[in-house]
Chain A
Amino acid sequence: MNEAVLDVRDLEAGYEPGVPIVRGASIIVNKGEIVVVLGPNGAGKSSLIKAIAGLVPISRGKVLLDGKDVTAAPAHTMVHLGLAFVPQTENVFPLMSVEDNLKVAGGILERRQAPARIEEMYAMFPDLARQKRSAAGNLSGGQRQMLAVARALIVHPKVLVLDEPSAGLSPKFVSMVFEMLSAIRKSGVTILLVEQNAKAALAIGDRAYVLVEGKDRHEGVASTLWDDPVVAELYLGQRPLKREAGGAA
């Protein structure tokens, strides 16, 4: 039996009371897995993981992290509890140096551990080491994504949650980002990510959920999901799109 790191049960969440965007979604992420959440635009994917990260108010359901109920935990405590979140946009502090971005995130580590952990990040992302003094706002899109991921990893999270890590990147960087995630998983980190780029995400994922109108409608093994007729209808058949509220932050 697999051990669930993140267990989301029947979650209902939204920015305004009475207007849920996520309407009863259930997701399980097991230790060591990469789980992908797919779905058409406006399905509430982004709101779902923001709700998990504590950024969107939850009106029903539960979020269990390592068996512990964290449904009501304020956003700033999530990273202490072991859930590190990488937002889709504006995911670095643009006026701070690369090093300060890492230091501010390393603030929750023990004081003595932080410098060594930052060095580990530099070893993992040599690009960042070369640019440690430059302002994060001056990095390229791909490097910025790298910094955001490094910033999240620095705290040894139990699960790394990413909101469309490939959004807005050029194709070259897209494959780079997915290779990076694949490598991170190999080092033992559990990953949950939301993606538009279904093909690339399924290529590195173990399992995937398809979210439609705020509910998980289908679940399957990533490698075969692409050929599943239900997915083709739900996801590729793309019904008329609604704009995803709060999604394009």
Chain B
Amino acid sequence: MMDLIGYAAFFLTAALIFSLITLGLNLQWGLTGLFNVGLAGFVAIGAYTSALLTTPDDPARLGGFGLPILIGWLGAMVVGGLAAALTGYATLRLRSDYLAITTFGVAVVVQLVALNAQPLTGGPFGIGFIPRPFGGLAETPLLFNLSNLAIVLAVTLAAYLALEHLSRSPWGRVLKALREDERAAVSLGKSARFYRVQAFAVGGAIMALAGALQAHFIGFIAPDNYLPILTFQVWVMLIVGGSGSNIGAVAGSVLVWAIWAGSGALTSMLFSPEQQARAAALQIVAIGVMLCVILLVRPSGLFGDRPRRLRAAKAAPSAAPESRGP
């Protein structure tokens, strides 16, 4: 029984960290319509920044600086937000695809730095000994897991409430208006771009915070944690939950993480160790197909508010329907 509660707490903690990333993505995509296919990069930036700031001094690499965990998290948000702001600044005056390609590139480069900049990131072996909140409780796993859950819950809840507030504020309404009409958003020029850069930066900061939380929750990070598959998982979570809805982002994350963890457990039971890699590949295929099916069948997800654009209502003839008739 205690084991079960412990596992539930562990599972929920992981799921809520994903929820936090998904909330950040929802601000960028759901509210603002900015397509980030490199979010794993921003999560990694947060994780590495916080690890660098809070780990004890290590002669093999730069730092760590042994700072308090909270400073680490704050630092993660600042660096992640700055990285996102820079990416947004470079691309948001162009068509949305350029942002997608650039964020994809950011993830590639962050991965590269994590792997190769040994003096900064520890290289392929990553960074260990990341201080854990309530590390003193580690002797009693249940209490430790529950206290971790409490922290992650509190942070996620705070982010959720803040985002709900933001999306109803005038700021959020401007973002939604810009999302609906990219042409207008581009023609409005600098001020519109500034709004979008802000949204992208705040989203990036939230993702970085999630990365930091996860690093301190596990106590160890390595480049492998931040492969494109992470980006992909979070996207599926948001689309399943329904982009545009914060509650959907959280629900989608918990649901998809449950499916992921469940099917992972199932494959490890059903397949021999040498077939594990293959089974894991099949798991990704299934999730990829699921994403496409949801996009085709129910683009608004479980809770989404993203309205289907009125058919060519105000668009140029180039967007007019292909054939005529009712």
Contacts and interface: CB of A to CB of B under 8 A. Distances in A.
A57 B317 contact: no
Contact of A15 (B313, B325, B326): B313
Query: DSSP class of B's interface residues: helix, strand, loop or mixed?
Result: loop
Given A15-B311, A16-B310, A55 B325 contact: no
B324 A72 contact: yes
B321 to A, nearest CB: 6
A13 B311 CA distance: 14
A57 B313 contact: no
Contacts of B310: 16
A58 B317 contact: no
Interface string A12-46: 01011100000000000000000000000000000
Contact of B317 (A73, A74, A87): A87
Contact of B326 (A51, A59, A74): A59
Interface residues of B, number: 14
Given A50-B317, A249-B317, A74 B311 contact: no
Interface residues of A, number: 21
A205 interface: no
Contacts of B323: 54, 72, 74-75
A17 B313 CA distance: 10
A58 B320 contact: no
A245 B320 CA distance: 13
A31 B228 CA distance: 64
A56 B320 contact: yes
Contact of A74 (B312, B313, B314, B324): B324
A246 interface: yes
B326 A54 contact: no
A138 B89 CA distance: 33
Contacts of A249: 316-317
B112 to A, nearest CB: 37
Contact of B324 (A16, A17, A57, A246): A57
A54 B321 CA distance: 10
Interface string A64-82: 0000000111110000000
23 contacts: A15-B311, A15-B312, A16-B311, A16-B313, A17-B311, A50-B317, A51-B324, A54-B323, A55-B320, A55-B324, A57-B321, A57-B324, A58-B326, A59-B326, A71-B324, A72-B323, A74-B322, A74-B324, A75-B322, A75-B324, A87-B317, A246-B317, A249-B317
Interface of A: 13, 15-17, 50-51, 54-59, 71-75, 87, 245-246, 249
